[in-house]
Every structure is written in C-alpha cells, then in structure tokens.
Amino acid sequence: MTIRFDGRVAIVTGAGNGLGRAHALGLAARGAKVVVNDFGGARDGTGGSMTAAETVVEEIRKAGGVAMADGADVSNYEQVRAMVEKATKEWGSVDLMVANAGILRDKSFGKMELSDFQKVIDVHLAGTFYCCKAVWDGMRERNYGRIVLTTSSSGMFGNFGQANYGAAKAGIVGLMNVLAQEGRKTDIRVNTVSPTAATRMTEELLPPQALALMKPEAITPAVLYMLGDNAPTRTIMGAGAGSFAVIKIIETEGVNLAEDEWTPDAIAAHFAEISDASKAQALEGAFQQTQKYVAQAAARLGIKM
C-alpha cells in the first residue's frame, strides 16, 4: 500500500528548517499541496523573516510540487486563522495540519524568568491550540481531517532546564486526547509525534556522531503515516534515528481500600500493591478511570452495578 496525499492540502508550521522542512518536503513528494509556514525567528523566538519558508517552497516547486509560503506567528490566532483562510481560498480546503513550530528558552527553574515560561507556552501549547482551532470547523464540515501535533520526551519524562518546554509539550498530549475523542464522529484523526532529531534546537546538546544518525528525515515517515487515510487516532509515536515506537500513559490496577483505611498510613502500607504495574493498562478516556474505581468499590462492598 502506498500512502499518497494527492488532492490534499496540508499546512506544516515551523517548516523553514529541520523537522518541519522535512515534513513539508515529504508531503509534497507524495502529492499534497503544502503551506510552508515559518515565522522565521531565531531559536528563542525573536526576530522574523520569510526567507526560510520561501526557500523550502522553492525546493518543492523545483521538484514539481505545489506550495506557498506563509509567515504567520503561531502564537497569534488572527495570523493563524488568516493563513488557513488563504490556503482555503487558494486550494479549497485544509485537510492536513502538522503543528510543528517551536522555540527553546532553556534555563534551570530557579533562573527561569516568567517571560521565558510564558513565551514557550504561547508558541508550543497555545500555538498548537490555535492551529487546531483554525482548521477544526472546516474539517468537521468536510467530515475529514488529519492532525499531527508535536510533543517531546521532555514533557512526558522530564529534562533538566526545560520546565517551560516540558509543561507545554505535556499539555499537547492532553489536547490530543480530547481532540481525538471529539473528532471521531467526523473522521478527524488527531495524533502526536515525539521526535528526537538533529535540528537547530538540539545541535548543541548532542555529540557529532549522534547528530549524524538523527536526521530530521528519519521522523517524517511517522508523521506521514499518521496523516494518511488509514491513520490511527489518539496515538503518540516516538521517532528518531530510524526507530519508531508507540508511547502510552498507563495506570496500575490499583487497590480499593475500606473507608476506615482512607489514611496516608494505609497508603504507605499498601503502596507496593498500589504501584504494581503487572496489570497496568492504558485508559481510553477520563471516565474509564471513574468507572474502574466505582467498579472496584462496588466489588469490595458486594454491590451489583
């Protein structure tokens, strides 16, 4: 089976360099019309230029593809909405959204300024929300949409000096979980990629031999798979250096305690059993957790539900 995007219109944010550029080129090579979005700022989000986006558009056109450049700042909803409207007016729809744009302002938590936290949240988390919001109604009307968000191991597992980035990236997983549920009835599938690649955001963090293995192009196959007609939904896919994995948030089976044991001491006494992951499972929604707890309590009390 060949995954193609002929007749589809895609927006890739942060597509002037690194991962976004690789995603844009990959989509165009498989037939999509691509909006190459890039604010053109520095790694910390300062500055701005259309040069990077225009360069990628030229690459796509020289290869026989169709693309346009856009300089919207994803942390500005009006600019994002205008970008979507321009693409829709030019090409009729926006079918695929890759929310990839990001910045870094790394500092240890004690030294992090409030402005550094807020700006990273604005670009990564609010910017991702804005991109999804701007395409959502159109996708619902057409009963079709594919959205890939970008999280990070820093958000799911932690990384020193990235309280702002980690918080934003963890929030993106929460956004995916809800949008995947709300999009199901209109065939809007929402997934998330957790990439590890050599980009200008990681070039100072990794040795040269590691950087040589971690090409941005190694991430793009995961993104294109999750944009396809037969894509899953509500999936977090890790990708890097040719490795691909699925990441799940799990909950242990847990223990239901009698009311006279609702104490921190009882928690301590039962903690090994409470934390036993042998029967852990990935829950499909918040209410599933509620149902599990109620069922456990009812079983202990002998109540039929």
Measured CA to CA, the distance from residue 24 to residue 70 in angstroms comes to: 13
Backbone Cα Rg of the chain: 21
Measured CA to CA, the distance from residue 60 to residue 29 in angstroms comes to: 8
| Angular region, 45: left φ>0, alpha ψ -120 to 50, beta rest | left
Instruction: Find residue 52's DSSP bridge partners.
Output: none
* CA distance to 161, 202, 204, per residue, from 208 (Å): 22, 11, 9
Q: Which residue numbers are catalytic?
A: 165
Strand ranges of the sheet holding 243-247, from the earlier edge strand across to the other edge: 66-70, 33-37, 9-12, 96-98, 145-150, 188-195, 236-240, 243-247
Q: Which two tokens stand for residue 63?
A: 């290869």
From the number of C-beta atoms within 10 Å of its C-beta (0-12, 13-18, 19+), residue 110 rates as exposed
| Residue 238 Cα to chain centre, angstroms | 11
Task: Give me the count of residues in the chain.
Answer: 305
Question: CA torsion, points 155, 159, 161, 164, in degrees to nearest 10?
Answer: 0
Please report where in the chains the tokens 């729809």 appear, as a residue. Answer: 93
Name which of 147, 43, 18 is nearest 94 in CA terms.
Answer: 147
